[in-house]
Structure 1
Amino acid sequence: MENGHLTQNTEKRLMIVSGQGYPELAERIADRLDMDLSGVELVKFPGGELYARYLESVRGADVFIIQSLCEPVNENLMQLLIMIDAAKRASAKRIVAVIPWYAYSRQDRKTKPREPITARLVANMIQAAGAERVMTMDLHTGQIEGYFTFPVDHLTAMHTFVDYFVEQGFKDADDAVVVAPDTGEVKVAKQLAGHLRLPWAIVNKMREGPDRSEVTHVIGDVAGKRVVMIDDIIATGGTLVNAAERLEKEGATEVWAAATHGEFSGDAYRKIEDSLIKEVVVTDTLPLKSDQPRSKIKTLTIAPILASTIKNVFTDESVSEVFMGENQLF
C-alpha cells in the first residue's frame, strides 16, 4: 500500500525443488544456478500413501520440480504428481516438471492388440496434475512431445558426448567409426559422426521380445577401427554386449558405447563388466547402483545443460541457443 493505493510487486521468483527420485542431480543443478533447493516435506505413510508440503510460500513463483522417474518408478511418478498438485493449490505462477528420465517412454505406441500407450497416459497425468511445461532429456521417440498440449523442452546430451569423445582423440581419427546399434538410432549416430567427422555404420538386429534381440549383420566397414556405439537407453545390456561381440568378429579393434540413460536393469552391470567393451559412457539422468561393478562405466553430468535451460525458460530466453539450434534429434 502506497499513498492509499495498492502496489504490485512484478519481480519474478524462481524456485527449484527436488523429489526423492534423484536429489543428488537436483543439488548439482541448483549449484550451477548458485541457488539452494527450496524446502519440501515428503512423507511415505506406513500404508504406502505419499504426502508433500512446501515449507515456504510458492505463491507467484515459477516452480521447477526436478524428479527423474527412476526406481521405484511408479512411486516417483506419483510423488511428482502430488508435488505438482501441491504447487498448483498453493498458487504457484508457473509449474515446470523437470524429468531427466521419462519412464514408460518405450511404451509410445501399440504393437499388439489390446495394449496401452503408457507414455501418453503419463503425459495426461502430468497435465491433469497442473504442470504447464515439461523439460526432459533424449526421449526414446520424439513423438512423445506431441502427447502434451503445452511446451516441452526436449534436451539432448549430444554435445556432452561430442566433447568427451573429442577429448578421447576420436575427432578426425582415421581408425574410428560411429555405429548405430539398430536402425532406430541412425539419425543420432549420423549426428555424432558429423560432429566427430567420422564415417558411420549400422548394426542390424532382429528383436525376439522385450530386451531380447539377435544381431544379424553389420552394414558398413568397421575392420581395424575403434567403434563408438551410440544409443539413447541401456536397459539389460544384452543388445549392447551382443553388438560388441559381432563388431569384434567384423574386425573392430575397440568397442566403446554411449547412451544418455543408463538404466542398467537386471544383470546389466555384470554383463558389461564381463564383456569386451572398453568403456560405457552415460549421463547422470539416472543414478548408478553403488553395490554393482562399475569399472567400465563413465558418467558425464547433464546438470549444466539442465541449469542453463531452466535459466533460459525462467528469463523467457531461447532454449535452442543452449544447444546452438541442435536440440531436435528426431
Structure 2
Amino acid sequence: MRNTLIFAGSSCPTLTSQICSNLGMAPAAVELSQFANGETSVKILTSIREKDVFVVQSGSSKINDSIMELLILISACKGGSANKITAVLPYFPYSRQSKKKSHRGAITARMLANLLHVAGINHVITIDLHASQMQGFFKCPVDNLHAEPIIARWIRHNVPGWQEAVCVSKNAGGTKRVTSLADALKLNFGMVTTDKRRGGGNMTASMIMNRLDGLIPESEMDADVSKLQISPEFDSMNREPKPHLSNLQTEQKSEHPHHNSHSSRASHSRQESQSSPRKTSSMQSPRRSANGNNLASSSPLARAQAVPARSSPIEEESEFTDERARDITHGRLVQGHIVPDDYPSPTQSALSTSTMIENPDEDPMEMSRASSFFNPEPHPLGGSHDAAATSDEEEESFNNPSFEQMITLVGDVRNRTVFIIDDMIDKAGSWIAAAECVVKRGGAKKVYCIATHGLFGGDALEELQDCDCIDTIVVTNSFPIPADKTRTVKKLVVLDLSNLLGEAIRRNHYGESISPLFSHSYD
C-alpha cells in the first residue's frame, strides 16, 4: 500500500510483523527505548509527512509503559505532519474500568480515550471492547471488530461433534456475547450464575423461629411474632402466598374485640376455617406437621413441603409437572470449588455451637439461601444493579474461606460438549468454578474455555492447566502471552488475528466498508 506506514509498539512486535507480512510491506523504522529512570523515549527514523500512519500497540503485562509509549508515538507522528493517525489496539487497556463502581471511583477508560484524542489520534481500531458503549468515549471514529467469526470457524473445523455442543456464559453479564455465538453456530446456550453468601453474621429464618418456639409460650406467639414484620417476599417460598401476620391479627381483634378467652378464639377459628381455609392455615401458630414436628423451627422449604395443599377436583385429577426444572442445577462453592451438599458450610462454622446443636437436621443449602433475607449484600451505588460486581470482582471471594456461594446452572449440558465463552481470561477462579459446575453437576463430557483476550494474570494459566474439568483453553493473540508461560501448557490454543487486523487496515486506508469483517464464512 502506497503512502502507508505501520509502526510496531513494544508490546506486540510479532503480531505487527504478521500484519505487515499479510499486507506485503515491512514495519516502519522506529527506535523505542527507556532512560535509566524509566522514562520512555521514541525516535521515528523515516519520513511520515502526508502519510497514512497506523500504530499497533496492545495492552501488556507492563500496561502503563505501553500506554505512555503509544501516546508519545502518536504525538511524534502528529508533530511529523502525518496525514492521518490510526491507533490499532487489539486489546484496549483499562476497558474494564468503563463505569463507576463506587461513589468515588474513576471512569478510567474514558480518561484514556481523552488522552488519545489530545495526543492527536484520528481513528481507533480495536477488538471486542469489554463494553461496546465505550465507543461513545471517543471523539473520533471507532471500529470495534469481533473475533467471533474466527472462533466460530475454529470450532467448526477442530471440535468433533460441535453440532451437539452448548454455549454457556459464566456470569449474567456475558449472556449477550454467548447468545451471539450460539446463534451463529445454531447451538443451544446456557448460563452459570453465582450468589455470594457471607458467613458469620447472618441468621436464617428457621433459627429465628426456633428461638421463638423455645422461649415464648404459644399464647404469646401471635403478639411477639407480629413484631418481626415478616414480609410477604420471605413467605413467598411456600407454595401459595399468605397474608401479612399483623393484618391477620388486626382483622381478628376488630371482629371479636370482647372475646379474649381461649374458647372464644377456638370457636372463631372454626368459623374462619369454614369460610376461608387459607386464613386458617396462616393463623395456626405454631404449625405442626403430620408427624408432630414443629414446622416453625424447620426451614422455609420444609414448611412449604409439609403444609398440606388445599384439595380441589382439578388438583386431584391432574398432577402439575414442570419439565424445565430438570434444566436448572444448583451447587455449592467453597473457595471457588464445587463441594458436596453435606460439606461443612462456612456459614455453619461461624455460628455458635449451641445453635448447631439445637438444629441438627438443618439443611446447609437452606441456611445459605435464607441468610440473604435478613442480611442482604449492599450494592456499591445504593442499590444500582447495573454497577454491581461481575466477573471482575467475584474472583476476590473465591479464595476467602469465610464465603460460601450458591452456583446455578441453567441449561441441559448432560453428555454434551460445553463452550464457556467470555471476552477475556484474567483470573482463573470463575472459569474453574463454571467448568466444575457443568461437569460435576451438569454432567458435561468436555469443556472448552474460549475468550478473545488471554490476559492470564498471576498463575491463572497454570491453574487452568491443572484443572481436570477443563480440556482446552482457546484465546487469540490480541494480548501478548510470555513464552515462559506457554511452554508447559498443553491445553492452550492461540488463534491468529493478523488477517483480521490486516484487512481492517487495508479497507480503512482505501476507504472501503468493513462490514464484511463481521460476517461468518462457512468454508
Q: TM-score, length-normalised on structure 1?
A: 0.92
2:461 corresponds, among 269, 275, 287, to 269
1:283-311 deviation per Cα after TM superposition (whole angstroms, max 9, x unaligned): 00012222223211100001100000000
Aligned to 2:395: 211
* Secondary structure class of the residue paired with 1:126: helix
Matches within 5 A, 1:43-82: 43-82=33-72
Deviation, 1:169, is 3.9
Q: Which amino acid aligns with 2:395?
A: D
Structure 1 range deviating more: 156-165 or 202-211:
202-211
Relative distance call for 1:325 and 1:117 in structure 2 (3 A) is farther
Counterpart mapping for 1:7-156 below 5 A: 13-156=3-146
Q: 2: CA distance between counterparts of 1:164 and 1:104? A: 28
Kindly indicate whether the alpha-carbon contact (under 8 Å) linking 1:203 and 1:215 is maintained by their aligned counterparts in 2.
no
Alignment match of 2:513 (pick from 297, 318, 329): 318
Residue 245 of structure 1 and its aligned partner are, at CA, apart by: 0.5
Q: Which residue of 2 aligns with 1:304?
A: 499
* Higher share in strand: 1
2:98 partner SS: coil
CA displacement, residues 70-110 of structure 1 (integer Å, 9 cap, x when unaligned): 12000000000000000000000000000111111000100
Look up the SS of the partner of 2:507 in the other structure: helix
Greater Rg over alpha carbons, structure: 2
Q: Verify the 8 A CA contact 2:149 2:520 in the aligned structure 1.
A: no
Give the TM-score of the pair, scaled to structure 2: 0.58
The Cα of 1:280 is off from its aligned counterpart by 0.6
Residue 248 of structure 1 pairs with residue 411 of structure 2? no
1:232 partner letter:
D
The one-letter code sitting in structure 1 at the alignment partner of 2:449 is: A
Write the distance in 1 (CA, Å) between the matches of 2:452 and 2:476: 5
Task: Tell me the secondary structure at the aligned position of residue 105 of structure 2.
Answer: coil
**2:464 is aligned with 1:280:** no
Q: Does 1:225 align with 2:399?
A: no
Q: Would the aligned equivalents of 2:149 and 2:519 in 1 still touch at CA under 8 Å?
A: no
Partner of 1:4: none
Q: Is 2:483 the partner of 1:290? A: yes
Q: Alpha-carbon deviations, 1:168-191, whole Å to 9, x = none?
A: 2467623x1111111211111112
How far is the alpha carbon of 1:220 from its aligned partner? 1.0
Q: Deviations over 1:116-160 (max 9, x none)?
A: 100111111011100111110100000111100110010110011
Deviates more, 1:95-104 or 1:202-211: 202-211
Partner AA of 1:277 in structure 2: I
Gap runs ≥5 in structure 1: 1-10
What secondary structure, in the 3-state scheme, does the structure 2 residue paired with 1:211 have?
helix
Equivalent position amino acid for 2:451 in 1: A
Deviation string, structure 1 residues 48-75 (Cα, Å, up to 9, x no partner) = 1111121110000010000012120000
Partner of 1:260: 452
Structure 1 residue 324: Cα displacement: 2.9
Measured in 1, the distance between the counterparts of 2:447 and 2:161 equals: 16
Q: Does 1:178 align with 2:172?
A: no
Q: Provide the C-alpha distance between the structure 2 equivalents of 1:296 and 1:325, rounded to a whole number of angstroms.
A: 26
Letter in 1 for 2:434: A
Q: Which has the higher contact order (CA 8 A, sep 6+)?
A: 2
C-alpha distance in 2 between matches for 1:86 and 1:173 = 51
Amino acid at match of 2:513: S
- Aligned equivalents of 1:324 and 1:178: distance in 2? 19
Equivalent position of 2:268 in the other structure: none
* 1:212 CA displacement: 3.2
8 Å CA contact 1:309, 1:319 repeated in 2: yes
Partner of 2:201: none
8 Å contact from structure 1 (residues 171, 197) kept in 2? no
Aligned residues: 315
SS at match of 2:484: coil
Q: Distance in 2 between matches of 1:82 and 1:185?
A: 35
SS in 1 for 2:163: coil
- Aligned mates of 1:121, 1:210 — CA distance in 2: 25
Structure 2 spans left out of the alignment, 5+ residues: 196-388, 398-404
**Matched residue type, 1:67:** Q
Letter in 1 for 2:123: R
Tell me how far apart the structure 2 counterparts of residues 324 and 274 of structure 1 sit (CA, whole Å).
36
Which whole-Å CA distance do the structure 2 matches of 1:181 and 1:260 have between them? 15
- Residue identity in the other structure for 1:15: L
Moved more, 89-98 or 286-295: 286-295
Aligned counterparts of 2:44 and 2:141: Cα–Cα separation in 1: 25
Q: Cα distance, 1:210 vs. partner? A: 5.7
* Aligned 8 A contact 1:172 1:197 in 2: no
Greater fraction helix:
2
